[in-house]
């Protein structure tokens, strides 16, 4: 089995560096392995699709916007995980409690496309 090993910082455990090891075949979309990175999610705005404290795997080489895809975007000195709406050209939260978190395409920097999510590690 081919595996991918990526490090992440656990912001909920004294910023310890941890390793995520998973099968390469879990990623069902095309990806550039050298461009993969992980982030630990802090917040509930993308629940139930991406839970608080989930680890996401994203690809820095994928910045082409696709409708309904989830991206890591940079906005106002923070990184956000949001779904993209091509028709309205916005990034938005899935959780209705955070419906106020909407960012226009022209106001964000696209960091990467989210390819995989791990919860309860």
pLDDT digits (tens, 9 = 90+) for 6-59: 999 998 999 999 999 999 999 999 999 999 999 999 999 999 999 999 999 999
Domain count, the chain: 1
Residues of the domain holding 12: 3-118
pLDDT digits (tens, 9 = 90+) for 60-107: 999 999 999 999 999 999 999 999 999 999 999 999 999 999 999 999
DSSP bridge partners of 106:
none
The CATH number that applies at residue 103 is: 2.10.109.10
What is the pTM for the complete model shown?
0.93
Cβ(61)–Cβ(45) below 8 Å = no
Tell me whether the omega of the peptide bond preceding residue 5 falls within 30 degrees of 0, making it cis: no
Cα separations in angstroms, 11 against 30, 37, 119, 121:
29, 16, 15, 14
């Amino acid at each position: 089995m081919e595996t991918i090993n990526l490090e992440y910082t656990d912001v909920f455990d004294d910023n310890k560096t941890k390793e995520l090891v998973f099968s390469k075949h879990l990623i069902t979309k095309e990806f550039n392995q050298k461009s993969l990175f992980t982030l630990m999610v802090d917040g509930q705005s993308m629940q139930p699709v991406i839970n608080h404290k989930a680890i996401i795997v994203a690809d820095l080489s994928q910045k082409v916007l696709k409708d309904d895809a989830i991206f890591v975007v940079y906005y106002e000195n923070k990184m956000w995980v949001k779904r993209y709406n091509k028709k309205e050209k916005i990034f938005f939260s899935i959780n209705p409690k955070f419906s106020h978190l909407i960012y226009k395409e022209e106001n964000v920097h696209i960091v990467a496309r989210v390819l995989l999510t791990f919860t309860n590690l």
